[in-house]
Chains A and B, each alone.
Chain A
Amino acid sequence: MKRLLIANRGEIAVRIIRAARDLGIETVAVASDADRDAAHARLADTVISVGPAPAAKSYLRAEGIVAAAREAGADAVHPGYGFLSERADFAAAVAAAGLTFVGPDAQVIDQMGDKVRARQVAMAAGVPTVPGTADGVSDVSAAVAAAAEIGYPVMLKAAAGGGGRGIRVVSDEAELRAAFPTASGEAASAFGDGRMYLERFIRSARHVEVQVLGDGSHAIHVFERECSLQRRRQKVIEEAPAPGIDADIRAAMTSAAVRLCQQVGYRSAGTCEFLVDDHTGEFFFIEMNTRIQVEHPVTELITGIDLVAEQLRIAAGEPLSFHQTDVTKRGHAIEFRICAEDPDRGFLPGPGSIQHVELPGGPWVRTDTWLAPGSAVSPFYDSLVAKVIVWGDDRPSALRRARRALGEFVVEGVPTTTGLLTEIIDEPWFASGEFDTGTLEDWLQQRTKPGEAGATR
Chain B
Amino acid sequence: MPRHEVLAPIPGVFYRRPDPGSPEYVKPGQTVTADDTVGLVEVMKSFHPVLAGVAGTVVDFAVEGESVVDPGQPVVILEVEG
Interface residues of A (CB under 8 A from B): 53-54, 189-190, 340-341, 348-349, 351, 378-383
In this assembly, does B23 line the interface, its C-beta being within 8 Å of a C-beta of chain A?
no
Question: Do A54 and B44 touch across chains, with their CB atoms under 8 A apart?
Answer: no
Docked complex Cα distance between A383 and B66 (Å): 20
Interface residues of B, Cβ cutoff 8 Å to A: 10-13, 19-21, 43-46, 48, 66, 68
Whether B45 pairs with A54 at a CB distance below 8 angstroms is no
B43 in contact with A351 (CB, 8 Å): yes
Taken together as a complex, chains A and B put the C-alpha atoms of A380 and B45 apart, in Å, by: 7
Give me 16 A-to-B residue pairs in the complex whose CB atoms sit less than 8 angstroms apart, sorted by A's number: A54-B66, A189-B20, A189-B21, A190-B19, A348-B10, A349-B44, A351-B12, A351-B44, A379-B10, A379-B11, A379-B13, A379-B43, A380-B44, A383-B44, A383-B45, A383-B46
Given contacts A54-B13, A348-B10, A351-B11, contact A381 B45 (CB under 8 A): yes
In angstroms, Cα B45 to Cα A351, docked, is: 12
> What total of A-B pairs shows CB separation below 8 Å?
35
B50 to chain A, nearest CB (A): 14
Contact of A381 among B21, B44, B68 (CB under 8 A): B44
Give A349's nearest chain B residue, CB to CB: B44
Q: Are B12 and A379 in contact (CB under 8 A)?
A: yes
Closest CB in chain A relative to B75 CB, distance in Å: 15
Contact A379 B21 (CB under 8 A): no
Q: How far does the Cβ of A234 sit from chain B's closest Cβ, in whole Å?
A: 10
Q: Which A residue sits closest to B19, measured CB to CB? A: A189
In whole Å, how far is B2's beta carbon from the nearest beta carbon of chain A?
Answer: 29
Which residues on A sit within 8 Å (CB–CB) of B21? 189
Bound together, the chains give a CA A383 to CA B45 distance in angstroms of 8
Which residues on the A side are within 8 Å of B43 (C-beta)?
349, 351, 379
- Please name 18 further chain A to chain B contacts, defined as beta carbons within 8 Å, in addition to the given A379-B11, A379-B43, sorted by A numbering: A54-B66, A189-B19, A189-B20, A340-B44, A349-B43, A349-B44, A351-B12, A351-B43, A351-B44, A378-B44, A379-B10, A379-B12, A379-B44, A380-B13, A380-B44, A381-B44, A381-B45, A383-B44
Most buried by B among A190, A379, A380: A379
The chain B residue sitting closest to A186, CB to CB, is B19
* CB neighbours of A54 from chain B (8 A): 13, 66
The residue among B20, B43, B44 with the most chain A CB atoms within 10 A of its own CB is B44
Bound form: Cα–Cα A189–B11 in Å: 26
Minimum distance in angstroms from A347 CB to a CB of chain B: 8
The residues of B that contact A341 with a CB separation of less than 8 Å are 44
Quote the shortest CB–CB distance from B10 to chain A (angstroms): 7
Q: Which residue of A lies closest to B48 (CB)?
A: A348
Q: Name the residue on B nearest A377 (C-beta).
A: B44
Query: Are B45 and A382 closer than 8 Å at their CB atoms?
Result: yes
Q: How far is the CA of A378 from the CA of B68 in the complex (A)?
A: 12
Contact A382 B44 (CB under 8 A): yes
